[in-house]
Amino acid sequence: MKKSELVIIPAPGMGHLVSAVEFAKRLLNRDSQFSITVLVLKNPSQPRTEKYTKSLAASDTRVKYIDLPPATPPSPDLINRPEKFFSVYIENHKPHVKEAITNLTSCNSVPVGLVVDMFCTSMIDVANELGIPSYLFYASGAAFLGFVFNFPARFDLVGREYKKSDPESIVPSYINPIPTSVIPTFAFDKDGYDVFLEQGRRFRGVKGIIVNTFAELEPHPLNYFSSLSDQIPPVYAVGPLVELKGLNHSELDPCQYDKIMKWLDDQPSSSVVFLCFGSKGSFDEAQVREIALGLERSSHRFLWSIRLTSPNDNIDPREILPPGYLERIGPMGMVCEWAPQVEVLGHRSVGGFVSHCGWNSILESLWYGVPIVTWPVYGEQQINAFEMVRELKLAIEMKLDYRRGGDLVMADEIERAVRCLMDGGGEVRKRVEEMGEKCKMAVVDGGSSYVSFDRLIDYVLGKA
């Protein structure tokens, strides 16, 4: 039987690549008539992505991976304008993407669709040029999708980027007004604002939008999109798309991995608070010391993945902990440089998660019913934290508005949040555990995301 070829272009970052690949695997599990090719854009600043795709290619031969050649670098004068730099870097891959798809077509495998990441919308031009339907894959949540969708309408009214002095924003995909303090940093910068303004405009030009969320988690924004069905492409909530087997741990010494898991095995059920801040979440020495003191004062068991912001990559983060710290905490705590997040969250001894609120991390914690203390660092994490605390009441607030390099979060505040999570937080914990069950129900036969996947498959294949 002739396969229906789907080409996927994830953004070159772990958070985007992981969920896109999980989408590909889920689609193949659901319908064997698809053939999927993932075009891999290199990201020099994240070498882990190359290791990850190589391990995937070896472990699951159903998905074909094509490493694209390096693109022409953006002009050096953009080096200090990260959003613009990244946007141009992605756009410079267009010739390579076109060539790869043309080669597929010459092999009698005409794609039925091109699925582009939220940061790869310039590739819609390639799809249009080749006469291929394009779909958007949105690795973040539906509420944030609505925030970006709102950019063009806001720009028509205001004509500029956000300012710190702006009043709270009314965005239809959120129930509550959004404080300016949790608006993502990029929205205050003209380059960043322009990049997302263009995204908001281009989203309307695709044939469908695939979102890594599920109806039970984000009913309000999804209902809002349904009310706009005659104005925007159809939206398919197919999540949670989480890699439950964990990522390739080639960056983690096997002995260290075993040490972490053995330590967790020795702890009582739901007794450990896990601290991890994503692939780019790091702190300076002063903040690391405040975290250390806050954890020590909380008297709770903890597993802490430290990443240090330092010009000297050779510094072991444990070397800058308070004097005698590791000896004082003894078996009550474990400090490491990297931890296998999915496996840790799924371990019976973990009862709480101090998180940067990346969307993948949120979905992983909900899947396992582990409540979060919010500590956003960069990207859209502040508005994710706002959604989790204020909109959904599924997390405990430590910070909603922290930004990389911001004021120190003091030990007293960290101690309070950890105690609130581990000693109290009963209502939040109960809601998170209930949402964890809804996560699992959403993806099985008859669940909301399962049904949405059916609708998407029929739509892509022209049956709807």
Provide the annotated active-site residues: 16, 117
Q: Are strands 134-138 and 111-117 parallel, antiparallel or unpaired?
A: parallel
Q: Report CA dihedral (353, 370, 179, 414) to the nearest 10 degrees.
A: -30
Evaluate whether 281 touches 377 at the Cβ level (below 8 Å). Answer: yes
Q: Interior CA angle at 100 toward 236 and 104, to 5°? A: 80
Four-residue CA torsion sign, 412, 418, 419, 424: positive
Evaluate whether 213 touches 26 at the Cβ level (below 8 Å). Answer: no
List helix spans (H) across 266-389: 285-298, 325-329, 341-345, 359-367, 381-386
Count CB atoms within 10 A of the CB of residue 313: 6
Q: Give how far Cα 450 sits from Cα of 207, 220, 252, 329, Å.
A: 20, 19, 34, 46
Evaluate whether 251 touches 51 at the Cβ level (below 8 Å). Answer: yes
What is the rounded CA–CA span in Å between residue 401 and residue 411? 17
What is the H or E stretch that residue 116 is in? strand 111-117
Query: How distant is the alpha carbon of residue 10 from its chain centre?
Result: 12
Q: Which of 108, 138, 113 is nearest to 126 (CA)?
A: 113
What is the rounded CA–CA span in Å between residue 295 and residue 334? 11
Evaluate whether 42 touches 11 at the Cβ level (below 8 Å). Answer: no
